[in-house]
Amino acid sequence: MVGVGVLALLAAGAGTAVAGGDRPADGRTAAPQLVAAGGTTAKADKTTRSPQPGRKPRPTASPTSSPTTSPTPTPTPTATTPPPSTDVNVQIPIPGYVTNFRFGDIVVDEARSRVYITGGKGTDGLIVTDLAGNVLRTLPGIAPGAAGMTLSPDGRKLYIAAGDQDWLRIVDLDTWELDGQFAGKTDGTMTCPKDMAFAAGQLWVSWGCENEPTAGIGRVDLATGKFDVYAVDAIDQRITSAMLLATSPAQPDMLIAGATGTSPALLVRFEATATGLIQRAISRTDGGSVAQLALTPDGTEVIVPSGAPYYHPVLRTSDLVEVHRYPTVPYPNAVAIRPDGLVVAGTDSSYDKDVWVFESGATTPTATYEFGHLPNQETWAHNLVNGGLAVSGNKIYAVTDQLAEPEMVTLRIRTLP
């Protein structure tokens, strides 16, 4: 790979690195600076257990002796060093990022062993790391309002919604060459694209500017580049806020959409055709706006965290009826599903666990993770950002932020048990 900035990783124990903000003239990221090391990072880290009050220590055996031999000395216990932590925490500066406001997206590219991160409204760049968290490259200024992302079906291009404008940025992942795609209206008014997904051989683009009453889903004709801003052919209710989109290779003509700016939020299952979208099921969340969507590997169920209710509901995609609940805590705001069905559920919880791991269909987590302040920092705990979860292999990728650290996010990488 070109332009690899190597993190100063930990010789022993977990640590924190910060990605350098200055870039060499070739556009590559300078090597991140190690700012803390040698500690664990979770708020719920285990501490050394103290002896129970009032209990006497266990007596040691007395040495035996004989008239002809000296007493055998009691061996001095040797201190053991605990194994180094596998936790990784990478602080990533994102100019223009507003804490606890509008995060962009996180996408894991397993074929290239990369992670892509955007910062959302007010930002304009792309951050690229490897699967270990080493920052490989930053591409600033390429997509104003850098929001949702999606990989092309062949995995060669990354599409980024320029949410502060009316177009999409297209990044060639082999050459890093940039291209663009118009995603606006013919009258010149802004569309503020939010998210994208491929289905039925078409690229679907959700759009809608904040505090505007009109939103929708458009279609890019990949053969001609023409953008149809109103691609929904049939729906029972009007779309009034930008939607998140989710698709599954197992059901290539299905598109699930969930509104981000209404409460309760509109949920729709569309059938995608070569020319438009047709509603096949419609519902609403039981609480807030949709924060992230994750489809099961067979495409028959979708998990929809929305702040409330205080669990992760599982809906059947055929009719959007709830069929299961993954019990978590306030406030559900992220979810990811591994190809084998393992569920990683996230919550925006300042004083509780942040990530919960479930086997498919279970109700008891197999593991939980909690993100406190970073090693050697005395700050408030970090919170998981909306939609800031991904999973790949035995690793969880979570993005957190903290009010005292403007224009900064932290990529947390945790190893699954």
Each residue of 146-197: pLDDT tens digit?
Answer: 999 999 999 999 999 999 999 999 999 999 999 999 999 999 889 999 999 9
The per-residue pLDDT for 376 is 75
Task: Enumerate the H helices of 296-375 as residue ranges.
Answer: none
Q: What is the pTM of this model?
A: 0.82
* Long-range residue pairs from 31-34, CB within 8 A, at least 24 positions apart, any chain: 31/5, 31/6, 31/7, 32/5, 32/6, 32/7, 32/8, 32/90, 32/134, 32/135, 33/8, 34/7, 34/8
Cβ contact 216:208 at 8 Å: yes
> What residue ranges in 222-354 does DSSP mark as E strands?
227-228, 232-234, 243-248, 251-259, 266-272, 277-284, 294-295, 301-303, 311-316, 321-327, 332-337, 343-347
Instruction: Give how far Cα 226 sits from Cα of 50, 168, 214, 253, 327, Å.
Output: 68, 13, 21, 20, 44
Average pLDDT over residues 351-380: 91
Give every CB contact of residue 415 below 8 A, 6+ residues apart in sequence.
Answer: 86, 87, 394, 395, 396
Tell me the C-alpha distance between 208 and 87, whole Å: 38
The band of 211, judged by pLDDT with boundaries at 50, 70 and 90, is confident
Q: How far apart are the first and last CA of the chain?
A: 30
Pairing of strands 277-284, 232-234: parallel
Mapped onto helix, strand or coil, the DSSP state of residue 297 is: coil
| C-alpha torsion angle, residues 304, 306, 311, 314 (rounded to 10) | -10
Tens-place pLDDT, residues 213-246: 899 999 999 999 999 999 999 999 999 999 999 9
Mapped onto helix, strand or coil, the DSSP state of residue 303 is: strand
The band of 75, judged by pLDDT with boundaries at 50, 70 and 90, is very low
User: Residue by residue, what is the 3-state secondary structure of 176-211?
Assistant: CCEEEEECCCCCCCCCCEEEEEEECCEEEEEECCCC
Instruction: Give how far Cα 342 sits from Cα of 167, 272, 294, 308, 336, Å.
Output: 35, 27, 11, 22, 8
Give the residue extent of every domain in the chain: 140-382
Tell me the C-alpha distance between 177 and 42, whole Å: 39
The per-residue pLDDT for 274 is 95
Tens-place pLDDT, residues 103-130: 999 999 999 999 999 999 999 999 999 9
289 closest CA partner among 320, 332, 318, 319? 332
Cβ contact 251:299 at 8 Å: yes
**Res 41 pLDDT > 50:** no
- Options 2.130.10.10, 3.40.50.720, 3.50.50.60, 3.40.50.800; CATH for 140-382 is 2.130.10.10
Tell me the C-alpha distance between 318 and 299, whole Å: 9
Cβ contact 408:92 at 8 Å: yes
One-letter amino acid at 75 equals P
**Res 69 pLDDT > 50:** no
Mapped onto helix, strand or coil, the DSSP state of residue 120 is: coil
The residues pairing with 302 across neighbouring beta strands, listed in sequence order, are: 295, 315
